[in-house]
Every structure is written in structure tokens, then in C-alpha cells.
């Protein structure tokens, strides 16, 4: 920032080579604003051009070097002094010298590791960004460009249902069942609640999705509980032998994949909370953790053919199994 | 290219037994507080209320019972429950000490509208408390609701179903 009309400054623009074709994803910033950012995956190359435009075309820009960095870092809101960069790559664009006119520099970070998903939470933030720095004696000029990273998973090999009998002795016994323990972000929770014994006057029943963010270690541990969704599944008083179905579509809610011990700094976990409320507003509840994962939307060229087929596996109907067998036969 | 289609069919469940579906529910519990009667004369007068209970819950020894209790009995019950159980006990209707002061224009605590207000509050209190699974385990609740009289020298204990 230069208030004086003498002295030189420059405007830095970062333009990706695949800006036309690369998808963008929505991401919330720390102050709650939602914006679109370029979407990258683990192993993707980050390449583009840096345009440095001199603000005062007549003067030269003296500098101590121009460089671009690709950084992945975790910011703990209560501990911003400390730096937790888990990815840090740098490329020198120019040796110390001077710029006599506006210039464009090419850069490429090849097959960059991006092991974690970008996340903005209540006490922690994980972000990836490019940063161009023009070093100068008194004050550097820099520009940052954030990108969003999604981590994809394959359909889990083992995905058992959750089925349990719970209750209060002699008062209320229920058996609840959820069809899976691992759900992808656009999945549907299909389940049922079966009443075995009902000696209290139930007024209604709902299912909540709770997000729990745990940050920090040792003495500085922060827990944030957030109820992401409240969905009523029953209105009225059930009796013994009744079965209440559950069908909860996840796509409408603001959820992320389950994250466990990210760089040993934080975790984000999701729980289904089944709540029964009686005539006198008393609440009876049972919480159960579920694992959320992100499914790839498109078949990516970098995946092997096997992996490509696996990512398209249908969840029902036998005609699709025939298609799968057909595709495998073709391979041979 | 078709995206994967999730299977949202309902999970299988046993068909309900018709007796369960159309029979009386297992949570039947009705408590009425009614028939206020003022007994005694002069300064020793007090009002009793009839407490009628109808239930099919196995934890209650009698499926139907009828007892008379006064306001101080309710206070005793509330105190016992607060001390012995983990229940957050709802409040009773007011003690109305100011109504017991002399030189009032109305009948004080024997005023009809006051008794009716109190009766409604006591009924609400009992329904809230008697339906609580934890309160149902306390001996004091059962003694209050179903025994002929309240023995304040009893030994507090928990009830276990046979």
C-alpha cells in the first residue's frame, strides 16, 4: 500500500492455466460468507501464470526476488501465532533485480499432494492457497489465491447396518436400525424404529444430525456441537409393535466428510440423535455416530479402470450388475 | 450418464399384532384432582382434595385408587422427590401466605376461585410427576397416590417391579 505518489508499486494477478475448464466449489469463509473457489484434488497439478502490472508504467520496480508458494495450512483460531503448514512448496520466479515493465511469469507445481480436505469450522480452519511475494527492502507486495480441496473416497467394502435395542427398563424399549454405518454426502439414511414396549405417553419423535468439532490437544481442547438438521419422523403416540420408517436425504444439509485426527490437530464427526418427546416435554434420546464420506462425481482420468467401475457401482437393481459384468468382460 | 440411484425402499418390519394395534395402550395413566372440601373450624380449618387415579401401568399396585390429600401433603411429596430422586420436580401452585393474613375482604385461602386455581395447579403437578419414569420408582410417590394416609415417618426407598 503506497500513499505517496513517488515510489513504485505493482498489482499481482494469479491466473490458472485451466481456469476455463476447472470446476469451482462453494466454500464458506470464516465470517460466514459463501464464495466460489477452484476445486482441486490430491495429486492435481497446479499451474498458471503470474501477471505483475506496474502501477506507474514510467518507473522501475526494484525488488529482492519474486517467488510463488503453494501452501496448505491449519489455523487454530485460539492459537494463530503458531504456524502449522503441512504442505509448503516454493518456486522462484525472478532473482533480485528490477522490473522495467509489466511481466508475466509461468509457474507449475506438479502433482501436488493435498492430503486433507479444506475446512472452515468454528475453531479451526484448513486452507490451501497460492501466494506470490515480491520482496522489497521496506515492504513486500504479496497476493494470495485460495483454492478448495475435496478428498474423495471409494465405496467402502464393509458397510454394516446399525441395529440396536435400547430403552428404559419397564418404561420404553425400542429397536432402532439404520441401513448403513457409512454414508456419502448425497446419500439417504433409510431406517426404522420398532417399538417393543411403550409405557410413557410419547408425543413425537425426531432425528437430528449433530456435528461435533474437536480441536486442540492436551489442556487446550475445544468441543463445538452443532445440530445440523432436525427432522420429525413421527407425530403422535405409538404403541407396541409399531414400526416407524426413516428416510432422511443428506444432500440438503451442510455437511462435510468425517475427519479424524487431521494432522493430529482436529476432528469433525457426525452423529445421528434419535429423540423421543413425551407429553410433559421430557426428552429421551440415543446418539449414534455415523461416518460421512465424499463420493467422486465424475470418472477421473487418473483413476485406474477398476477404480472407475467401482465408483459407478449401483446400489440396487440387477440390470446394473449385468452392465458391470459386461464391462469387465469387455476388458478381458 | 446416469448417476447412482440410492435404494430408499423401507426396511422390512414385522406386521403388528392386531391386539397390540387395537387394544388399550400400555401407557394409560389418568390422575384427577377434584372435590375440594374444607374441614375443621376456625383457625384449624384446612382444605382437602380428592385424588383419583386410573392406570394400567404395572408399577402401580392398584389399578384404581381414590385418596384425599391436603396442600402440605403435596409439599411433603415435592420435598421427598427433590431430595431422593434425580428428577427436576415441577413447581407447586403458590403457598399464598398473604392470603392467610387477617383483615382480608375475601375468604383468604378458602376463597372459591383460589381453591379452584390451586386445584388446577395441583392436578397439573401430579400429572407431570406421576408420568416421570424416575419418579415412579420412588416409594413416596406411591404412598402419596395410593395409600390411605401419608406416613411421614416412612423409610424412603425405591420400588422395583416384580
- Residue B146 φ/ψ, nearest 5 degrees: -125, -20
More confident residue, B101 or A141: A141
Query: Which residue in chain B has the smallest CA separation from A320?
Result: B4
Is the model more confident about A194 or about A328?
A194
pLDDT at A230 over 60: yes
Looking at chain A, the domain(s) classified CATH 2.60.40.640 span 10-149, 162-331
Full-model pTM: 0.84
Query: B162 pLDDT exceeds 70?
Result: no
**pLDDT value of position A306:** 52
Query: Three-class SS of residue A9?
Result: coil
Chain segment B8-60, per-residue pLDDT in tens: 899 998 999 999 999 999 999 999 999 999 999 888 889 999 999 999 999 99
Angle between helices B139-146 and B112-130 (to 10 degrees): 140
Q: How far is A270 from chain B (nearest CA, A)?
A: 21
Of B3, B6, B16, the CB nearest to A188: B6
pLDDT at A144: 96
Q: Which residues in chain B touch residue A201, judged by CB atoms under 8 angstroms apart?
A: 27, 29, 131
Band of pLDDT at residue A320, cut at 50, 70 and 90: very low
Q: Is A117 helix (H, G, I), strand (E, B) or coil?
A: coil
Q: Once rounded to an integer, what is the mean pLDDT over residues A198-222?
A: 93
Inter-chain CB proximity A191 and B11 less than 8 Å: yes
So what's the pLDDT on residue B139? 94
| Residue A280 with chain B: CB contacts under 8 Å | 127-128, 131-132
- Stretch B131-144: mean pLDDT, rounded? 94
Fold of A162-331: Immunoglobulin-like (2.60.40)
Average pLDDT over residues A218-240: 93
Contact B20 A239 (CB under 8 A): yes
Cell of A227: 445440530
Q: Which is it for strands A84-94 and A283-293: parallel, antiparallel or unpaired?
A: unpaired
Confidence of residue A159 (pLDDT cuts 50, 70, 90): very high
Instruction: Tell me what pLDDT residue A58 has.
Output: 82
Is residue B114 a contact partner of residue B96, using CB atoms and an 8 Å limit?
yes
Q: Which residue has the higher pLDDT, A314 or A134?
A: A134
**CATH top-level class for A10-149?**
mainly beta
> What is the pLDDT, as a whole number, of residue B107?
80
Contacts of B20 in chain A (CB under 8 A): 239-242
Give the CA dihedral B13, B18, B19, B23, nearest 10 degrees. Answer: 100
Helix (H, G, I), strand (E, B) or coil at A104: strand
Q: Is the dihedral of CA B69, B70, B71, B73 positive or negative?
A: negative
- Which chain B residue is nearest to residue A187, measuring alpha carbons? B6
Could B17 and A200 be called an inter-chain contact, meaning their C-beta atoms sit closer than 8 Å? no
**What is the per-residue pLDDT across A31-55, written as a single tens digit (0 to 9) for each?**
889 999 999 999 999 999 999 999 8
In which element (H, E) is residue B119 found? helix B112-130
Structure confidence at residue A266 (pLDDT): 94
Amino acid at each position: 500500500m503506497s500513499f505517496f505518489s513517488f515510489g513504485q508499486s505493482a498489482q499481482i494477478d494469479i491466473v490458472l492455466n485451466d481456469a476455463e475448464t476447472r470446476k469451482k466449489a462453494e466454500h464458506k469463509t470464516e465470517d460466514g460468507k459463501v464464495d466460489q473457489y477452484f476445486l482441486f484434488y490430491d495429486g492435481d497439478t497446479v499451474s498458471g501464470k503470474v501477471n505483475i502490472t506496474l502501477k506507474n508504467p514510467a518507473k522501475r520496480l526494484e525488488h529482492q526476488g519474486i517467488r510463488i508458494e503453494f501452501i496448505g495450512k491449519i489455523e487454530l483460531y485460539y492459537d494463530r501465532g503458531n504456524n502449522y503448514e503441512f504442505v509448503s512448496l516454493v518456486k522462484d520466479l525472478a532473482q533480485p533485480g528490477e522490473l522495467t515493465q509489466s511481466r508475466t511469469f509461468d509457474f507449475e507445481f506438479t502433482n501436488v499432494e493435498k492430503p486433507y480436505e479444506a475446512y472452515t469450522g468454528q475453531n479451526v480452519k484448513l486452507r490451501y492457497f497460492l501466494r506470490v511475494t515480491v520482496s522489497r527492502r521496506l515492504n513486500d507486495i504479496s497476493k494470495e489465491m485460495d483454492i478448495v480441496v475435496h478428498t474423495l473416497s471409494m465405496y467402502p467394502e464393509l458397510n454394516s447396518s446399525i441395529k440396536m435395542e435400547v430403552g428404559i427398563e419397564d418404561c420404553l424399549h425400542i429397536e432402532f436400525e439404520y441401513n448403513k454405518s457409512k454414508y456419502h454426502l448425497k446419500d439417504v439414511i433409510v431406517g426404522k424404529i420398532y417399538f417393543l414396549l411403550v409405557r410413557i405417553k410419547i408425543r413425537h419423535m425426531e432425528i437430528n444430525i449433530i456435528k461435533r468439532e474437536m480441536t486442540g490437544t492436551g489442556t487446550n481442547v475445544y468441543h463445538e456441537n452443532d445440530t445440523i438438521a432436525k427432522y420429525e419422523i413421527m407425530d403422535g403416540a405409538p404403541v407396541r409393535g409399531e414400526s416407524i420408517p426413516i428416510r432422511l436425504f443428506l444432500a440438503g444439509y451442510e455437511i462435510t466428510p468425517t475427519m479424524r485426527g487431521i494432522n493430529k490437530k482436529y476432528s469433525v464427526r457426525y452423529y445421528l440423535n434419535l429423540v423421543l418427546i413425551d407429553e410433559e416435554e421430557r426428552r429421551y434420546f440415543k446418539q449414534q455416530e455415523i461416518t460421512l464420506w465424499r463420493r467422486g462425481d465424475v470418472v477421473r482420468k487418473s483413476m485406474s479402470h477398476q477404480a472407475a467401475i467401482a465408483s459407478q457401482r449401483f446400489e440396487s437393481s440387477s440390470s446394473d450388475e449385468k452392465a458391470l459384468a459386461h464391462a469387465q468382460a469387455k476388458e478381458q | 450418464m446416469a448417476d447412482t440411484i440410492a435404494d430408499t425402499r423401507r426396511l422390512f418390519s414385522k406386521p403388528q399384532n392386531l391386539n397390540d394395534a387395537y387394544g388399550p395402550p400400555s401407557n394409560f395413566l389418568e390422575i384427577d384432582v377434584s372435590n375440594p372440601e374444607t374441614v375443621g373450624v376456625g383457625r384449624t380449618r384446612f382444605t382437602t382434595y380428592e385424588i383419583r387415579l386410573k392406570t394400567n401401568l404395572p408399577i402401580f399396585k392398584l389399578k384404581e385408587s381414590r385418596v384425599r390429600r391436603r396442600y402440605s401433603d403435596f409439599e411433603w411429596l415435592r420435598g421427598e422427590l427433590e431430595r431422593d430422586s434425580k428428577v427436576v420436580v415441577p413447581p407447586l401452585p403458590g403457598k399464598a401466605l398473604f392470603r392467610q393474613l387477617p383483615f382480608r375482604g375475601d375468604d383468604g385461602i378458602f376463597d372459591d376461585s383460589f381453591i379452584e386455581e390451586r386445584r388446577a395447579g395441583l392436578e397439573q403437578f401430579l400429572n407431570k410427576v406421576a408420568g416421570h419414569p424416575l419418579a415412579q420408582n420412588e416409594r413416596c410417590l406411591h404412598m402419596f397416590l395410593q395409600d390411605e394416609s401419608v406416613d411421614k415417618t416412612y423409610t424412603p426407598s425405591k420400588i422395583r417391579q416384580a
